[in-house]
Amino acid sequence: MWSYQHPGFSVYQLPALNDNYIYLIDVDNSDIMAAVDPADAAPVRKVCRELGKPLTHILNTHHHWDHTDGNKPLKSSFACQVVGAAGDAARIPEIDIEVSEESRLQLGGIDIRIIFVPGHTRGHIAFLLKDALFCGDTLFGGGCGRLFEGTPGEMWSSLSRLAALDDATQVYCAHEYTLANLRFARSVDPDNRDLDERISSDTRKRMAQLPTIPSTIGIERATNPFLRPADNEFCTRYATLHSIPTDALSVFTHLRASKDRA
């Protein structure tokens, strides 16, 4: 487990299943302990027991089992409340609090902004607490989620909204896919110096069995090929090479399809 300090709360990062991360948000001076996307109940229970702080909330970014399988067992252990997208309530197991972008959600005095980011699934949401972004399977380190239920246009606009957040925003995504993503990134963005640096530093982290996550919005904007279509030069170069229109959406669509085939 790794932990990170934010103003007013701590984030604990728990590896789960093969390559998932579950996050615990421990709000200072309160009884609030929230789990983001509990793939599995066991590691969450263990940490709550060690810290002597029972789980009060579960925040689900989307309905996939590797993000929600812990809902039911955790609810029976802790009587915690499950927060999920109102538009996808039928598919979020045990949901108690249905939220949308307009919801004013607060946990222990910390404001939580809900960002609707469809694309991977049609009801996907992200949670922003101050400078901490919990984005599930929408934005990954060096990549983005597959388009299971959404269109490239929806995903591009979701990613663009996340990319517009402050550079220093910490990106707590739900999977450790970074190195594989960066291999693809290099193949489509070979002259990117920031990307070379990121590959060296993230490779070193993995060799030391450390997570590459969280990254930051600034790093993602500079190196993530699925955010790079916002850069005109990248767009023109990529579009010319593949003989496609030079607009960002066409380039994003082509990149996502190539990654699916890779």
Given 69, 88, 137, 189, which residue is catalytic? 137
Binds 259: which of Fe ion, Zn ion, none (CB < 5-8 Å by kind): none
Number of residues that bind Zn ion (CB under 5 A): 2
Residue 64 interacts with Zn ion (CB under 5 A): yes or no:
yes
- Return the residue of 34, 45, 63, 66 that touches Fe ion, per CB under 5 A: 66
| SS3 track for the chain | CEEEEECCEEEEEEEECCCEEEEEEEECCCCCEEEECCCCHHHHHHHHHHHCCCCCEEECCCCCHHHHCCHHHHHHHHCCEEEEEHHHHHHCCCCCEEECCCCCEEECCEEEEEEECCCCCCCCEEEEECCEEEEECCEECCEECCCCCCCHHHHHHHHHHHHCCCCCCEEEECECCHHHHHHHHHHHCCCCHHHHHHHHHHHHHHHCCCCCCCEEHHHHHHHCCCCHHHCHHHHHHHHHHHCCCCCHHHHHHHHHHHHHHC
> Is the Cβ of residue 20 or residue 250 nearer to Fe ion in the bound state?
20
- Whether 64 is a known active-site residue: answer yes
Given 57, 67, 124, 254, which residue is catalytic? 67
> Is the Cβ of residue 64 or residue 228 nearer to Zn ion in the bound state?
64
- Whether 175 is a known active-site residue: answer yes
Nearest distance from C-beta of residue 21 to Fe ion, angstroms: 10
CA angle 67, 69, 75 (to 5 degrees): 110
Given 57, 63, 64, 124, which residue is catalytic? 64
- Whether 57 is a known active-site residue: answer no
- Whether 62 is a known active-site residue: answer yes
Given 66, 69, 189, 202, which residue is catalytic? 66
- Return the residue of 137, 176, 189, 202 that touches Zn ion, per CB under 5 A: 137
Q: Which stretch binds Fe ion (CB under 5 A): 1-9, 60-68, 188-196, 222-230?
A: 60-68
Interface positions, 121-160, toward Fe ion (CB under 5 A): 137
Q: Which stretch binds Zn ion (CB under 5 A): 8-16, 57-65, 123-131, 196-204?
A: 57-65
Instruction: List residues with catalytic annotation.
Output: 62, 64, 66-67, 120, 137, 175
Which residues would be at the binding site for Zn ion (CB under 5 A)? 64, 137
Which residues would be at the binding site for Fe ion (CB under 5 A)? 66, 137
